[in-house]
Structure 1
Amino acid sequence: MLKKLNGEDIDEISPTVGFNIKTLEYNGFKLNMWDVGGQKSIRSYWRNYFEQTDGLIWVVDSADVDRMEDCKRELKTLLIEERLIGASLLVLANKQDLPSSVKAEHIEQLLDLPSLKSHHWKIFACSAVTGDNLVHALDWMCADISERLYNLE
């Protein structure tokens, strides 16, 4: 996703192992983005990247329903982290270009997002391959963060 948003070649897409850091200039915002892999072996390191986080983008594989319970559990665990309090949550239901993908509305229920009261959140159906809906999703996140930070001043 980060490569697609940054206009990089995406001919070969593979899961993030470890992390990638990119700074993206977007609609007047300077976004420092950390793409952190989701493998179980590196989840304990996630907390190293929470300092000064204004927004969290949670990418879900829409074609892998079997992992939704694990995904829900990990997300709920993350959102109680003190350094993520108040961060905007953007959930990307990725791989919508695949016939086996589950609709974003169904993923919203599987992750129990409506019960989430501690963070502003929104879910978008998208595809990292086609780029569908990535701009709309990022627009929402930037607007939500901007509105929240502006109201704090």
Structure 2
Amino acid sequence: MGLLDLLRKLKKGPEKEIRILLLGLDNAGKTTLLKFIASEDPTDSTPTLGFNIKTVQSKGFRLNVWDIGGQKKIRTYWRNYFENTDVLVYVIDSADRKRLEETGFELGELLADEKLTGVPVLVYANKQDLLHSASASDIAHGLNLHSIRHRDWHIQACSALDGSGVEDGLVWISKIVTKK
């Protein structure tokens, strides 16, 4: 079942537009995830030096996904894309334990920004298909996600390359959006 089938089941009626901001450090797998969601070949990804925008339409939903590059020099521009964000999707490379502190810092900065106040956050603990990946629960603990208040949040283990866990995260997004 693809994203379009899932959304058709969850929402009927007039088309609803959802703006998703897809962020994370470079090499976390954001573009691979976006390609999987858009039913494109996820193995054909190159580093994003600026941003990618994909619109995925479905009966009842129009997803506008903004994938912004995660290189250190680009992160200062992330805030230019915060306006009208319905859901923040933050992607973490679960196998890159050396950068867990850095990714936690960046996520903390995002959550502290007033333009994103109350915006629901889906954290994808990506690259679970790799041998030495940290589990989603270990990442949640390491980033102290359980201390997040005043916004809905969810962490989902996934592999953007093979798609495992991706749809579970999308189900969570659909529930949050239809709840509003």
The verdict on a shared fold, with TM-score over 0.5 as the criterion, is yes
Q: CA deviation at 1:134?
A: 0.8
The 1:84/1:26 distance shift into structure 2, 3 A limit, reads farther
Letter in 2 for 1:123: I
Taking the TM superposition and a 5 Å limit, the aligned residue runs for 1:1-153 are 1-26=33-58, 28-147=60-179, 149=180
Name the CA distance, whole Å, in 1 between partners of 2:45 and 2:131.
18
CA RMSD in angstroms comes to 1.3
Q: CA deviation at 1:17?
A: 2.2
Letter in 2 for 1:47: R
Q: CA deviation at 1:80?
A: 1.6
Q: Which runs of 5+ in 1 are unaligned?
A: none
- Secondary structure of 2:55's partner? strand
- Confirm or deny: 8 A CA contact 1:56 1:88 kept in the other structure: yes
Name the CA distance, whole Å, in 1 between partners of 2:176 and 2:128.
24
Letter in 2 for 1:128: A
Letter in 2 for 1:120: D
Output the TM-score relative to the length of structure 1: 0.91
Q: Which runs of 5+ in 2 are unaligned?
A: 1-32
Q: CA deviation at 1:88?
A: 0.7
Q: CA deviation at 1:81?
A: 1.4
> How many pairs are equivalent?
148
